Amino acid sequence: MLKLEKIKKVNGELSFKGDKSISHRAIFFSSMANGISIIKNLSDCEDVNSTIEAFKLLGAEFESTKEEMIVKGIGKENFKKPHKEIYCGNSGTTARLISGILANQKFESTLTGDSSLSSRPMRRIIEPLEMMGAKIYHNEFKLPLTFYPSSKLSAIKYELKIPSAQVKSAVLISGLFIDEITSVVEKTTTRDHTERMLNLSFELYEDKKVIQSSSKNYPVSQDYFIPGDISSAAFFIVLCLISENSRLIIKNVSINPTRIGFVEILKMMNANISIEEFGKSNNEPYGNIVIKSSQLKNVEISPEIIPNIIDEIPILSLAGVFAKGDFTIRNCKELRYKETDRISALCYNYKLLGLDVYEYEDGFTISGSIKNQFANFKSFDDHRIAMTFSICSLLLGNGGSIDNPECVRISNPNFFNQLKSIIEN
Ligand code: S3P
């Protein structure tokens, strides 16, 4: 249990370790490639560590220095049969993306995870991979998954049933082992790191994006610089906006357009945020963000932007609680399948503040005013819930407390130290 007190203001500068989604993919593609790749500013979070451990079992070698991670990749034909089950910890990205590789191997392998990951839906990747010819044993479409050796998989054209970058990536990564072209059709844009980092070609048809992969796109060794994690930055951005007389600069952070939807929404809410783009690294844009205290007002959130803001909804809802008017978010049932059921976790914690909370199957509405200026919040062992209500505690008259604050290590082990460096009591 961690107790936090109300702060006076926020002031300073922050930079973040590499974006989690981009870091996962840099480990994937450098481990798959033949030869040496060097990764700068790799995330040091537990989820990315799960990906590193998984690739060690498959034959990749890693050497980390203070500045960089040196990866000796496996090469397309040289994946090793793991001598034990591949444990993915809490990481959905590790489990779902690596399935695209394991489905194509000549050996048997099994994926496991912690209790949260073991309760998350895997049908979404099992179905398309089976359509390609994969042989997968599963526990009612959940982990553990066992991949059996199968003859060469076939290319498919697959239209995503749910907007999910993890499903899109699992299919496209599987397509890297096949000579014919695999296509993924997406109706709603999701984060596009896989296609950017692999330089995949895509076509736009009216409202659909068709992305293609084949063995021609199999990754080669290269150097990476990973821009800072925008999803980790989101918590500090909202804290600065709500705190009075505050100013914060966030440096070298990812500003990939498929990830900064929450900044667009905050700007519509009257937030004083400016973004300065510097350039691109491995096709991924990055820059600095300057944030100043603002009087926020709630706005309508359109359904198309939901996949873009999916990881930021917890902290965006906190901005909504401190903004003028009621906060409503709908069309985000996917939140129920994250590390915890985030709709119910958010509603539970907002009720502790005496707010009026209305829960829908696909979202929630928060209205009324905060009546309790102190609460013992529950993280549900979910890093983004823990960070949201740690920030909330810093804004309450009498502060607040949060259980299992250590779970922030899943995406940002530096969260509390970074907080300390910018808050003034
Ligand atoms: C991720 C995709 C998203 C996101 C997750 C990371 C990725 O999940 O919520 O934190 O790196 O591809 P879905 O694909 O399930 O929406």
The gap from C-alpha 12 to its chain's centroid, in whole angstroms, comes to 25
Q: Inform me whether the pLDDT recorded for 298 exceeds 90.
A: yes
> pLDDT tens digits for 70-79?
999 999 999 9
Q: Given the structure tokens 């920030």, which residue do they identify?
A: 391
- Local confidence band at 159 (pLDDT 50, 70, 90 cut-offs): very high
- Nearest partner of 172 among 213, 220, 131, 130, judged by Cα: 213
Which atom, in ligand 1's list, is nearest to the CA of 194?
12
**The token pair that represents 198 in the structure block:** 């692999």
SS3 108: coil
- In this prediction, residue 45 carries a pLDDT of 98
> pLDDT tens digits for 7-30?
999 999 999 999 999 999 999 999
> pLDDT tens digits for 109-137?
999 999 999 999 999 999 999 999 999 99
Q: Inform me whether the pLDDT recorded for 381 exceeds 90.
A: yes
Neighbours of 49 (CB within 10 A): 20
44 is catalytic: no
- In this prediction, residue 306 carries a pLDDT of 98
- In this prediction, residue 35 carries a pLDDT of 98
Which atom, in ligand 1's list, is nearest to the CA of 307?
16
Averaged pLDDT of the chain: 98
- In this prediction, residue 334 carries a pLDDT of 98
- In this prediction, residue 131 carries a pLDDT of 98
Task: Determine whether the shortest distance from the Cβ of 242 to ligand 1 is under 6 A.
Answer: no
**CA 106 to CA 126: how far, in whole Å?**
18
Q: Given the structure tokens 């040196």, which residue do they identify?
A: 70
The answer to whether the pTM exceeds 0.85 is yes
- In this prediction, residue 176 carries a pLDDT of 98
- Ligand 1 geometric centre to CA of 9 (Å): 32
- Local confidence band at 206 (pLDDT 50, 70, 90 cut-offs): confident
Task: Determine whether the shortest distance from the Cβ of 310 to ligand 1 is under 6 A.
Answer: yes
Q: How many CA atoms lie within 13 A of 215 on its CB side?
A: 12
Q: Inform me whether the pLDDT recorded for 294 exceeds 90.
A: yes
The gap from C-alpha 338 to its chain's centroid, in whole angstroms, comes to 10
Q: Inform me whether the pLDDT recorded for 150 exceeds 90.
A: no
The gap from C-alpha 210 to its chain's centroid, in whole angstroms, comes to 22
Longest Cα pair distance anywhere in the chain, in angstroms? 63
**CA 80 to CA 78: how far, in whole Å?**
6
Say if residue 144 is preceded by a cis peptide, omega within 30 of 0: yes
- Ligand 1 geometric centre to CA of 166 (Å): 5
Sheet with 423-424: strands ordered across: 272-281, 284-292, 247-254, 9-15, 423-424
- Ligand 1 geometric centre to CA of 100 (Å): 15
CB 2 within 8 A of CB 407: no
Q: Inform me whether the pLDDT recorded for 382 exceeds 90.
A: yes
- In this prediction, residue 18 carries a pLDDT of 98
Domains and CATH numbers, the chain: 2-17+227-424 (3.65.10.10), 20-154+168-175 (3.65.10.10)
Which atom, in ligand 1's list, is nearest to the CA of 231?
10
* 112 bridge partner residues: 87
Q: Of 19, 192, 311, 382, which one is the catalytic site residue? A: 311
* 372-381: average pLDDT: 98
- In this prediction, residue 425 carries a pLDDT of 87
- In this prediction, residue 244 carries a pLDDT of 98
**CA 88 to CA 22: how far, in whole Å?**
17
* 256-278: average pLDDT: 97
- In this prediction, residue 151 carries a pLDDT of 85
Task: Determine whether the shortest distance from the Cβ of 165 to ligand 1 is under 6 A.
Answer: yes
- In this prediction, residue 183 carries a pLDDT of 98
CB contact burial 80-102 (16+ within 10 A = b; e otherwise): eebeeebbbbbbbbbbbbbbbbb
> pLDDT tens digits for 166-196?
999 999 999 999 999 999 999 999 999 999 9
